[in-house]
Amino acid sequence: MTTYHQPVLLNEAIEGLDIQASGTYVDATFGGGGHSREILKRLGKKGRLYAFDQDEDAVAQVPDDKRILFTRGNFRFLENYLRFYGVKEVNGILADLGVSSHHFDVPERGFSYRYDAPLDMRMNLNGTLNAANIIAAYPGPDLERILTIYGELHNSRKAAASIIQARKLKSIDTTGDLVAVIQHCIPARQTNQYLSKVFQALRIEVNHEMDNLADLLQQSSSLLFSGGRLVVISYHSLEDRLVKNYLKSGNSKGIIEKDIFGNYTVPFKTIHHKLVVPSDKEIENNSRARSAKLRVAEKN
């Protein structure tokens, strides 16, 4: 475990990878390195681990181990990075899509409504778009769209209208400013749930999370050896639906297509018949694990 981030579904994810001692693996979301350290424990001298994270704060967490090569970069460019390193295929890919505890617990990153901090939410601090930009510049219909699709808010039009009206009078620069603006939109006894959805929507938009995930899934089928494993941990229904559809059909819509001979083609077969979720004990020890869902598939 690490103070940076407590990995979720650690044993289940590592088991899902079915690690071969001399194999080549990818941790697409290094974070605090909890999953990577467990992978390294199971690799022999010839095994290799390629780890990726776009957040500069993750660099300090990388273990001193010759078998791991860390790249500070977005996993949507995974295939290009691996090609640069001379790697064409790998035995397993792990993606833990959640936000690290570190991000929520460092106020100045702006990921949490628990602190009054700058509206940032960038995973990559070199990125040009932050949450304040969205709040300040997005037209009403676009604000409503992201709050509806990414936040799954039932009153997204009201929330968007409140933001548009408030920013005419004063800039909305901090998390506290935003909370104050939409306070009257929050249903009774749903403050935490509602604000979590708003902040989730902004974070997804800032970091292009759904597009990045779609790119990663699309690349995984060509990067994995036959029999290689793809393990994905998601934290909200949008992510999980996209992962489920891709593993089922090889596309984001979940529609199984036929080849030129009329045969159905699917790149993966799922390993578990039932969705893997954290145990009650894990949730008790780490409340942030409560929404996690794990899916494992094997390349055909």
95-153 per-position pLDDT tens digit:
999 788 888 889 999 999 999 999 999 999 999 999 999 999 999 999 999 999 999 99
What is the predicted pLDDT for the residue at 27? Answer: 98
Instruction: Give CA–CA dist 205/201, Å, rounded.
Output: 6
Residue 14 maps to which CATH number? 3.40.50.150
The answer as to whether 111 is a domain residue is: yes
Instruction: Give CA–CA dist 67/88, Å, rounded.
Output: 17
Torsion sign across C-alpha atoms 237, 239, 242, 243: negative
Same domain, 265 and 126: no
The answer as to whether 203 is a domain residue is: yes
Torsion sign across C-alpha atoms 126, 132, 133, 138: positive
What is the predicted pLDDT for the residue at 84? Answer: 97
Same domain, 36 and 127: no
The answer as to whether 156 is a domain residue is: yes
Same domain, 134 and 83: no
Percent of the chain whose predicted confidence (pLDDT) is above 70: 98
Same domain, 73 and 121: no
Instruction: Give CA–CA dist 112/291, Å, rounded.
Output: 17
DSSP string, 271-293: S-SS-B---HHHHHH-GGGTT-E
pLDDT above 60: residue 47: yes
pLDDT above 50: residue 46: yes
Q: What is the DSSP letter of 174?
A: B
What is the predicted pLDDT for the residue at 4? Answer: 67
Same domain, 177 and 55: no
The answer as to whether 5 is a domain residue is: no
What is the predicted pLDDT for the residue at 3? Answer: 57
Same domain, 239 and 194: no
Percent of the chain whose predicted confidence (pLDDT) is above 90: 86
Question: Is residue 45 exposed (0-12), middle (13-18) or buried (19+ Cβ within 10 Å)?
Answer: exposed
pLDDT above 70: residue 1: no
The answer as to whether 3 is a domain residue is: no
Range 174-199 average pLDDT: 97
- CB atoms < 10 A from the CB of 64, how many? 5
Mean pLDDT of the chain: 94
Same domain, 171 and 43: no
The answer as to whether 236 is a domain residue is: yes
The answer as to whether 219 is a domain residue is: yes
Note down the domain range covering 117.
106-207
Helices (H), the chain: 10-17, 34-42, 78-84, 101-105, 131-137, 140-149, 156-169, 175-182, 191-207, 209-223, 237-249, 280-285
Are the beta carbons of 99 and 196 closer than 8 angstroms? no
pLDDT above 90: residue 254: no
pLDDT above 80: residue 2: no
pLDDT above 70: residue 234: yes
Same domain, 163 and 111: yes
Same domain, 201 and 214: no
The number of domains in the chain is: 2
pLDDT above 80: residue 258: no
What is the predicted pLDDT for the residue at 153? Answer: 96
